[in-house]
Structure 1
Amino acid sequence: MLPNRMQLNKTVEEQLKRLKSFTGITPNVSARIAFFRSIESGFRYTESEATKLDGSLVLDKITWLGDTQLITEQLLKLTYPKLDGRELQAAWAAHIEDGIASLRNHKNILELVNSI
């Protein structure tokens, strides 16, 4: 399963923080929304797309995933049965990067909610 301490790449982390400044939604909650939007869109991670996870926001799995921890891990295992540990974290991070692309430019909470 996913490691206990996880992080994203610096660019995605900055986008999550910027979204928080506009909407008030914390980075961990917006990361959850981005992950599920990416899964729903049909995006699939390939190991050749792996980016360095160099963000400074290193949080534990419970904080990143919250109540969605079980379903997030199960979706990742169903989608990527051959990946484990850090590779699964890279897939999770790639899904957040894909999903945040459609959320990052919203200027307020109402605009964000209407787009979801």
Structure 2
Amino acid sequence: MLPNRMQLTRKTEDQLKRLKTMTGVTPNISARLAFYRSIESGFRYQINERKLDGSLVLEKSVWLGELEGITELLLKFTYPELNSKEMMNAWAAHVEDGIASLRNHKSLLNFIDSI
């Protein structure tokens, strides 16, 4: 479903790195939280040629962890018509959407209170 190596936009990646600096939460964990927050909010990916230009190119097992299967099934259920590359773009769009509500936290306690 999703390709084995995945990346995000540079903007999203920078927000994840900033969040790590402020809270200590690693980018892969905050990306998972952002993805599910976006799904819960009702955001839906509109197909476009989004340039995934971030420098963090990680294995999907690192990005998704133990939620890999659930995340892939959720994406497949939500977007049954997308191919593997488009599915990665949808995942990246959801992470970008979800990180908007998480990116400004200044401490771990503040971050935890928001989720």
The bucket for the TM-score relative to the shorter chain is: over 0.9
- TM-score normalised by length of structure 2: 0.98
1:96 equivalent in structure 2? 95
Q: 2: distance between equivalents of 1:54 and 1:114? A: 31
Residue aligning to 1:42: 42
Counterparts of 1:89 and 1:75, CA distance in 2: 13
1:63 aligns with 2:62: yes
What amino acid is aligned across from residue 72 of structure 2 in structure 1?
E
CA distance in structure 2 between the aligned counterparts of 1:21 and 1:35, rounded to whole angstroms: 20
Aligned-partner Cα distance in 2 for 1:107–1:84: 38
* Cα displacement (A) at 1:74: 0.4
Query: How far does residue 84 in structure 1 lie from its aligned partner after superposition?
Result: 1.7
Q: 2:107 corresponds to which residue?
A: 108
Identity among equivalent positions (%) equals 66
Tell me the TM-score normalised to structure 1 length. 0.97
After superposition, give the CA deviation of every residue in 1:27-85 in whole Å (9 maximum; x if it has no partner): 0000000000000000000113x420000000001000000001000000000000021
In 2, Cα distance between equivalents of 1:84 and 1:68 = 20
The gaps in structure 1 that reach 5 residues or longer are none
1:14 is displaced (CA, Å) by 0.3
Runs of 4 or more consecutive aligned structure 1 residues displaced over 2 Å after TM superposition: none
Give the match for residue 21 of structure 1: 21
Q: What is the Cα deviation at residue 11 of structure 1?
A: 0.4
Q: Hey, what does 1:54 align to over in structure 2?
A: 53
Amino acid at match of 2:112: V
Q: Secondary structure at the match of 1:47?
A: coil
